[in-house]
Amino acid sequence: MTYWLRLCLVGLALFAVQSVSSSSSVTNKVVCYFGSWAVYRLGNGKFEPENVQPNLCTHLIYSFVGLGYDGKVTVLDTWNDLPDGKDGFGRFLALRKQNPAVKVMAAIGGWNEGSQKYSQVMNDDSKRAVFVQSVVDFVTEYGFDGFDLDWEYPAQRGGAASDKGAYVKLLQELRPKFDERGLLLSAAVGAGRYLVQESYDLPSLSKYLDFINMMTYDLHGSWESETGQNAPLYASSVDTTPEAQALNVNASIHYWIENGATPSKIVLGMGTYGRSFSLPSAGLVGPGAPASGPGSAGPYTRESGMLGYNEICELEKEGGWTVVWDDEQKVPYASKGNQWVGYDNIESIKLKTQFAVDLGLGGAMIWSVETDDFLGTCAGYKYPLLTAINEVLSGGSITPPPTTSTSSTSSPPTTSSTTPGGAIDPTGPCKETGYVRDPTNCAVFYYCQLAGGIYTASRFECPAGLAYDPKMNGCNYKDQVDC
């Protein structure tokens, strides 16, 4: 799909997302985390707050602040975050000037903060009270619209069994203070059922949180001895044990709902990165193949065992990588030599977003904006994964992915533009939601939307010499189109 067509579709998506009321059962949140350390990356990986496109998100979350043993919120990178340095907080909050409707929040915790300190503070009534007041003071001082709790994880990683109850007490104490000030309270949570049983009281999380950001990724990785998809939508035939069969998005979401979580509070998390492995044998590359360790670090994230989507798509663009669609798990994987990575692409992101819509979940979340193709280096337009979420939320159609493709044989997106027209013909060519070509003029196409039981068609026209190609949902050279 071409750049200008994407812009038109994103506009429609944003209208659809923002026009849904908060009481609707329709998926309406697009929660975007920002890992603030990305400002230190090099080359095409360097990401500043100004790189965020706030019109693609309903909620932006700055990550992370920390916790002191005294129970107070601490700023982890004072030079990057505070006004007397790079003023990361202020610049992130300034994104509201571009989209006044977006809610800007701050998150505490993350994997590197661990659990032990959180366990000690939250199980101590006096320290927990200090923390609650410190959160309110922090949000008020800097002007955030809310706060996100990313304790990874209660009763895990050095925590105590009592963490599960202490977490509920924390939410009970934060809720009224947030309500008094009109603030949002959310949490990032682990998805796996075996973690959930020890860490979370699901009905209480639904009761006290405005929304729950489910981290339905990191379900497999280089800590295992076999290759596995980072975030499979469904189980694979290689998943032969009950534990393995539970490690997918579908099983995780249904477990949460069956055990008391409110579907409309759940925001489905998707990773804009993949988990990578090194292989002892380049000939065995499917899911469940033997792995000898983490994959090589990428040039921007510089962490073995993971690659940002922006790194993956650039590697594929260079050639030599074989990309395979895993139709059982509805996600792709790619391999080259002894390197293997399982990740999400545009097609799998669309399928997951549609999954969230079909289940009446509260929205979609990405971790995180800085590892999407935010420069448009590969797709020809910025933020292809985040755009894909917005496309589905707008009611756009999903194009089935190919079974197998090889990056060296794929062609780059065609560069063209579309010109919006004003004509809307309710008796026109629309039979279902999505794009359709004009039956008499191949250069003209429509975006069909169903509202109030009536289809309306927004008209577009390809530039001279181009025709609408239904196979790519965009304008293409006429000799490449079956007109």
CATH number of the domain where residue 101 is located: 3.20.20.80
Residues 129 and 51 in one domain: yes
Give 451's pLDDT tier (boundaries 50, 70, 90). Answer: low
- Strand 184-190 and strand 211-215: the pairing is parallel
81 lies in the same domain as 135:
yes
Taking 60 as the threshold, does the pLDDT of residue 425 lie above it? no
- Domain of residue 467, CATH code: 2.170.140
User: Does residue 278 form part of some domain?
Assistant: no
Residue scoring higher pLDDT (340 or 451): 340
- With 0-12 / 13-18 / 19 or more C-beta atoms within 10 angstroms meaning exposed / middle / buried, residue 427 is exposed
How far out from the chain centre does Cα 418 lie?
28
Question: To the nearest whole number, what is the mean pLDDT of the chain?
Answer: 87
Rounded to whole angstroms, the Cα distance separating 344 from 232 reads 9
What are the catalytic residues? 152
* 220-232 pLDDT tens trace: 999 999 999 999 9
Inter-residue contact 353 to 269 (CB < 8 Å): no
pLDDT of residue 26: 44
Kindly state whether residues 49 and 164 are assigned to the same domain: yes
> Is the residue at 289 inside a domain?
no
pTM of the model: 0.79
- Strand-pair partners of 420: 460
Pair 168, 204: CB distance under 8 Å: yes
One domain, residues 155 and 216: yes
Residue 442 banded pLDDT, cuts 50, 70, 90: confident
Sorted by sequence, the CB contacts under 8 Å of residue 437 that are 6+ apart come out as 429, 444, 445, 446, 468, 470
For residues 456 and 306, the model is more confident at 306
| pLDDT greater than 90 at residue 326 | yes
Q: Are residues 368 and 469 in the same domain?
A: no
Asked whether residue 48 is assigned to any structural domain, the reply reads yes
Residue with tokens 């944003």: 14
The percentage of the chain sitting over the pLDDT mark of 70, rounded to a whole number, equals 82
Q: Which amino acid is at 237?
A: S
Residue 462: predicted pLDDT: 66
Q: Tell whether 354 is covered by a domain.
A: yes
Residue 315 lies in a domain: no
Q: Would you state the structure tokens that stand for residue 162, as one six-digit string? A: 């009592």
What's the pLDDT score for residue 158? 94
317 vs 297: CA distance, rounded Å: 17
Q: Report the alpha-carbon distance of residue 396 to residue 151 in Å, rounded.
A: 35
Return the DSSP state at 370.
Answer: G
Instruction: Please identify, among 409, 443, 460, the residue that sits at the C-terminal boundary of a domain.
Output: 409
Q: What is the pLDDT of residue 428?
A: 63
**Residue 283 belongs to a domain:** no
Do both 348 and 473 map to the same domain?
no
- Name the DSSP class of 47: -
Q: Which of 62-66, 281-285, 360-364, 377-381 has the lowest mean pLDDT?
A: 281-285
pLDDT in tens, 383-423: 999 999 999 988 864 444 444 443 333 322 232 323 233 33
Last residue of a domain, one of 385, 409, 433: 409
Tell whether 91 and 208 lie within a shared domain.
Answer: yes
- Mean pLDDT value across residues 438-450: 78
CA separation, residue 69 to residues 124, 131, 148, 165 (Å): 11, 10, 19, 20
Rounded to 10°, the helix 346-358/384-393 angle is 30
pLDDT on residue 314: 98
User: What band does 444 get if pLDDT is binned at 50, 70 and 90?
Assistant: confident
- The strand ranges marked E within 103-191 are 103-109, 146-150, 184-190
Are 34 and 56 in a shared domain?
yes
DSSP label at residue 226: B
Which letter does DSSP use for residue 87 in this model?
-
- The span from the CA of 346 to the CA of 331, in Å, is 10
Residue 424's pLDDT band (cuts 50, 70, 90): very low
Grade residue 432 by pLDDT with cuts at 50, 70 and 90.
Answer: confident
447, 8 contact by CB (below 8 A) = yes
Task: Convert the pLDDT of each residue in 78-92 to its tens digit.
Answer: 999 999 999 999 999
* 445 and 401 part of one domain: no
For CA atoms 399, 402, 405, 408, the dihedral sign is negative
User: Which residues lie across from 344 on neighbouring strands?
Assistant: none
Within-domain flag for 308: no
Q: CA-CA distance, 329 to 336, in Å (whole number)? A: 21
What is the predicted pLDDT for the residue at 458? 65
Question: Do residues 62 and 89 lie in contact, with contact meaning Cβ atoms separated by under 8 Å?
Answer: yes
Look at residues 444, 407, 405 and name the one whose alpha carbon lies nearest to residue 425.
444
Considering the domain architecture, whether residues 28 and 95 belong to the same structural domain is answered as yes
Task: Output the pLDDT for position 100.
Answer: 97
DSSP string, 371-415: GS-TT-TTTSSS-HHHHHHHHHHTT---PPPPSEEEGGGPPPPPP
* Cα separation, 304 vs 396, whole angstroms: 36
29 and 100 housed in the same domain: yes
Same-domain check for residues 455 and 379: no
Domain end call among 409, 434, 462: 409
pLDDT digits (tens, 9 = 90+) for 353-365: 999 999 999 999 9
Average confidence (pLDDT) over 152-173: 97
Is residue 324 one of the residues assigned to a domain?
A: no
pLDDT of residue 283: 82
Per the structure, the count of domains in the chain is: 2
User: Containing domain of residue 473, as a range?
Assistant: 419-480
Q: How far apart are the first and last CA of the chain?
A: 18
Is the pLDDT at 427 greater than 60? The verdict is no
- Distance, in Å, from the CA atom of 121 to the CA atom of 169, rounded to the nearest integer, reads 12
Distances (CA, A) of 71 to 135, 145, 169: 10, 21, 15
